[in-house]
Amino acid sequence: MKKLYHSYIVLIIRSGILLFFSLLSSSVTAQERCAVPQILEERERKYPELSTEQFENWIANKKTLQTTFSSRKKADTLKIPVVFHIIHNGEPIGIGGNLSKSRIDRQLEILNEDFNRTNSDSTETLDEFKDIAAAFQIEFIYAKQSPDGQETDGIVRIPGSEPTYSYQERSILSSESYWPAEEYLNIWVADLAGGSLGWAEFPVSNLVGLEEASNNRLIDGVSLDYEFLGDNPNSPTFESRGRTATHEMGHFFGLRHIWGDGGCSVDDFCDDTPEANSSSTGCNLTKTTCGSLDMVQNFMDYTNDECMNIFTLDQKERVRTVVENSPRRLSLTTSKGLESPPVFNRDLGLTELNSQFTGSCSGNFNPQITIKNQGIFPVEEYSVQMFINGILEETVELTETLESNEQKTVYFSLLNFEETAQYSIFYQVNLTGGFEDERMENNQKLEYYQRLEEERLPYEKKFQRNINPWFIRNADQKETWQLYENAIGIPFYENRENFGQKEEIISPVFDFTTIDVPELSFVFAQAEDSIPNRVSIYASYDCGRTFNDLVFSNTITDLSTAYEVDSVFTPQVRLDWDTVKIDLNRLKDEESVCFNIVAENRLSNNFYISEFKVKESNKKDKEIEIVKWEDINPLFCDEGLEGILTLKNIGREFIGNYTVQILNQNDLIKEYIINDEVLTSGQNTQLSILLPKPDQNIGEYEIRAITNDAEEEIINTFYLPFENNCFEELPPLRLSLRESDNDNWFDFNPNKDAGWTYSTDYRAVTSNSSNITKESSEDWLISPLLDVSNTNYLGLIFDVSYRKPFRQAEKFEIYISDSDGKSFNSLIYSKEGDSLATSFGNNVSNQLIWRNEFVDLSPFVFKEKIRLAFKVTHDNGQNVFLKNITFFVGQSPPPPYPNTRKPFVIYPNPAKNDLNLHLNLDIAEQGFFQILDMRGKVMLEFTEPKILNQFISFNVSQLAEGMYILRLNTKRITATERFMIQK
């Protein structure tokens, strides 16, 4: 089942005007199809002054004012000019979505039959409803003249830029081909996605106070799936008899579904359509849902086409009220599209030229222009002039008789443009021999010739001071590419009404035979928006005459780099920019290649490009790279080192064999020769590594991944520092973050990039992700070996801060080695991107936002010894900050320590039976505790082998009532606190 029927009304508020249009369904029942109640509720909460009630009050007031409606307009048949935009996928006429004219003609007939009750199945209307059946007296006719005054048959055929279109993409569909909605009823016919049969834009009301508000005229019309246009016995779900267009046209003129998109208590604002609890399917003529017979034959229900046959009198009054009052519906009735283009006795016009823009390398150009006699009388004497950059270059005098509607192509002398520049070529046709042309607005045409610069490869252009030798092609003379500070861009934000407008800029010409493995890259910036601007890059192989090869489109790669803003977006910081790289290997044998960057206005924010490069790709045909370690622990005691190495084929071709070598001080320790697996481009594989215990206590392994590419040995190197580190600590434990003392913590980066460092500004360790450009590079921070043999409960707490940029996403993971520290084989914490973030933004904030995290390590204390590894995987985004990394004895996170500098606090105070200590020391050490009475007599004393941040509770029920002193002694401090016992 491909398509499911049909549309439902949605309220949109845009710039202060009330606008309705219908959306589509992809569900079987009305409840599943229709999100109208939720959408209306949301819109009315946001804009209470712009509600459905307001629109219906407007309709009601217009009806009241039109007291002479039934008599004054009763006999008038209103004509509406329609244009069918057939948006196809390149098929011949009559095949697929490029429908035949006869099919379109039949649809127009059906619309007129249904709206005027001349449909042959009107006799099948149930007797209960025949008396209220109505003819709207509206006639739909093909537009007779196009917006530029040319004769037309009312059908436009355009290859679409998308294979299918959803209702969310209705702006894209309408931009494929559009005639002014004030003059023409646009009907777009395409392959609609999501099971949709069609949709229509609801009419605009001119509510008091909102007359000057803008509205989206560029999508105003009706959209139909091509399979349900006209008669089509093979349409999915039911046989099409063209009633999809009838139904949607009802919405276009203000009719609602007969069940009111709700139920028995919801009105469709037509008194003579019985209430219904829901939509209808099939053709159940006895359906009764609200105490009366449902009007399932109404065109505004969801029944099969063969079942529909009636509009009602109230529906007619509603439609006629809209047509005579809603601005863009009323203007249709007086459109110039209803009239044939004017005909003059003598009227010469220019129709076709080479193209609006022509590119070239040689400078040679053959100008030509086509003229047409659009008048009634033949013409015998006329001339065509050609101007170059405003200066008359050549005049061609003609005495050959040109009959009415006959046309002729005029050829001028060969031009040679020596300088690299853009030239304007202006043509004008004139009647001679004593006669005057009665219409002059079609006598002129303008085109541009661009002689392109030839540049050598490799090539790099930074758009800082100028765009030369690039050329802009501004077909509509509206906003276009312009120079900003250190970039070129297009002011789309300031010109959001120009949906679908395409802006082009042409590169110089390159000889790709001079480069082995070409790669194109460009640096761009754009803020996130609901529909990102479409950006495409086309290649030309004839010096810019034609651009037919699409080498890049952002339909796959999102080109948003920054979070959405409510103003003009201007890139300010490093992360506002990003780079796209495009493999152009297939162009390496082309001699004359230039590129056309086309940015299409989708009503989003401005789009910028700062750099454009074409150079030799770093990507080899065959290359293996070491990506990361897994389960590795570079700290060893008596055992060797083991882990898993992840490798990736980063070349263009498959790899059937490669070698991994492990060296220590240039001595080959181990070699793995792999020739029994095939890695395709981009594929990962894993290799288990087992190394003997190193002879030295501190050192570094060099791991090489070796492939042979075109008799060249390619080596990628990875590093693993190691250290004989068997020093054991008891919990609790905290990373001190003193630059001179890391408390036996160990950090490394396998790529020898800047790893974890201490930030004095934030008193935290930072990953330096913003400075590390290598993809997936890692920073490791490894804790000392913890003796947990006598620990029942153990927890980990730490504070993390990460400002998530729009496009990049760092990852932070914690691994535990529960095998006495041999390898990190258990992942206990993992967050990336949004889940890791404590704030969002491309800029570096002056104030970090912290989040406290807790991880219960109690499940691992049955082991004798454990280690933890904190790992950040970089994305060249923002730094990850950590502080207060603490192992504490307990199963749940401690409450916040009181805002005091004291090393401990005691509570409750006064105490009765139990006394609690909450410790918070900077450095873990042994603690000696005493409880003394006020005369200095020791009442209780005990020693804790290691104190830091514990909770210690002990029984004081044996002590008499009174005041006491708790004293703590360590190697560094002595502290006392008074408390009272009260029975």
Contact by Cβ (8 Å): 490, 599? yes
Q: What are the tokens at 798?
A: 């730490």
| Residue range 942-969, pLDDT digits in tens | 898 888 888 888 888 889 999 999 999 9
Q: Is the pLDDT of residue 43 over 70?
A: no
Nearest one of 142, 36, 18, 21 to 80, comparing CA atoms: 142
pLDDT score of 53: 65
969, 897 contact by CB (below 8 A): no
Q: Does residue 578 have a pLDDT over 90? A: yes
| H or E element in which residue 317 lies | helix 313-325
As a whole number, mean pLDDT of residues 60-89 equals 72
H helices of 713-862, in order, are none
Residues 185, 222: contact at Cβ < 8 Å?
yes
Residue 876's pLDDT band (cuts 50, 70, 90)? very high
Q: 181, 189, 6, 184: which is closest to 88 by C-alpha?
A: 189
Position 489, amino acid: G
Identify any residues that bridge with 629 across adjacent strands, giving them in sequence order: 645
Q: Evaluate if residue 208 carries a pLDDT over 50.
A: no
Classify residue 718 as exposed, middle or buried by CB count within 10 Å of its CB (0-12, 13-18, 19+).
buried
Q: Yes or no: say if 162 and 169 are a contact pair by the CB < 8 Å rule.
A: yes
Residue 491: HSE in the Cβ half-sphere, 13 Å Cα cutoff: 7
Same CATH topology for 456-616 and 728-889? yes
What would you report as the CA-atom Rg of the chain, rounded to the nearest whole angstrom?
Answer: 39
- pLDDT score, position 64: 59
pLDDT in tens, 505-545: 999 999 999 998 899 999 999 999 877 788 999 999 999 98
pLDDT value at residue 497:
66
Give mean pLDDT, residues 156-180.
86
Mean pLDDT of the chain: 86
The encoded tokens of residue 95 equal 């095949």
Q: Map residue 192 onto helix, strand or coil.
A: strand
Active site includes 113? no
Q: What are the boundaries of each domain within the chain?
A: 35-68+75-253+312-338, 348-450, 456-616, 624-706, 728-889, 904-981
Please state the rounded mean pLDDT for residues 253-262.
87
Mean pLDDT of the 313-318 span:
94
Q: 11-36 pLDDT, tens per residue?
A: 332 222 233 333 333 333 333 322 23
Question: Is residue 385 predicted with pLDDT exceeding 90?
Answer: yes
- Between the ranges 763-777, 812-826, 925-939, where is the mean pLDDT highest? 925-939
pLDDT at 725 over 90: no
Question: Which of 705, 755, 742, 746 is closest to 722 using CA atoms?
Answer: 746
Q: Does pLDDT of 342 surpass 90?
A: no
- Residue whose structure tokens are 């008074």: 978
Residue 668 carries which side chain, given as an amino acid letter? L
* pLDDT of 55: 64
Question: Three-state DSSP class for 101?
Answer: helix
If you average pLDDT over residues 905-934, what whole number do you get? 90
The per-residue pLDDT for 711 is: 72
Choices 3.40.47.10, 2.40.50.140, 2.60.120.200, 3.40.50.720: CATH for 456-616: 2.60.120.200
SS3 state at 53:
helix
pLDDT at 52: 61
Give the model's confidence band at 189: pLDDT under 50 very low, under 70 low, under 90 confident, else very high: very high
Domain 348-450 = CATH 2.60.40.10: yes
What CATH number labels 624-706? 2.60.40.10
- Confidence class for position 438, pLDDT limits 50, 70, 90: very high
Any residues with CB less than 8 A from the CB of 376 and at least 6 apart, and which?
343, 344, 345, 346, 404
Cα 443 from Cα 453, distance rounded (Å):
33
Angle, helix 313-325 to helix 52-65, in steps of 10 degrees: 90
- Sequence-distant (6+) residues with CB within 8 A of 857 are 794, 795, 796, 816, 828, 866, 887
Instruction: Provide the sign of the torsion angle of the four alpha carbons 931, 933, 935, 937, taken in this order.
Output: negative
The one-letter code for the residue type at 536 is S
Q: Is 836 in contact with 800 (CB distance < 8 Å)?
A: yes
The active-site residue, picked from 227, 248, 503, 810, is 248
Window from 67-71, 591-595, 642-646, 975-979 with minimum mean pLDDT: 67-71
Identity of the amino acid at 58: W
Topology annotation, domain 35-68+75-253+312-338: Collagenase (Catalytic Domain) (3.40.390)
Structure tokens at 599: 């940015």
Is residue 800 within 8 Å of 813, Cβ to Cβ?
no
DSSP 892: S
First-to-last C-alpha distance (Å) of the chain: 81
Q: Is the pLDDT of residue 39 over 60?
A: no
The mean per-residue pLDDT over the stretch 557-579 comes to 93
Cβ-proximal residues to 974 (8 Å cutoff; 6+ apart), any chain: 967, 968
More confidently predicted of 171 and 554: 554
CB 325 within 8 A of CB 78: no
Q: Output the pLDDT for position 953.
A: 83
Residues 657-682, mean pLDDT to the nearest whole number: 92
Helix ranges (DSSP H) in 700-850 = none
Instruction: Give the orientation angle of helix 243-252 with respect to helix 101-115, to 10 degrees.
Output: 60
For the segment 91-145, what is each residue's pLDDT rounded down to a tens digit?
999 999 999 999 999 999 999 999 999 999 999 999 999 999 999 999 999 999 9
Residue 120 CA, distance from chain mean position: 49
Residue 704: exposure state from Cβ atoms within 10 A (0-12, 13-18, ≥19): middle
The closest alpha carbon to 927, from 901, 941, 945, belongs to 945
Interval 391-408 mean pLDDT: 94
Alpha-carbon gap, residue 458 to 511, rounded angstroms:
10
Q: Are 232 and 110 in contact (CB under 8 A)?
A: no
CATH number at 904-981 = 2.60.40.1930
Q: 728-889 architecture in CATH?
A: Sandwich (2.60)
Dist. CA 194–CA 165, nearest whole Å: 8
Alpha carbons 982 and 961: distance in angstroms, whole number: 5
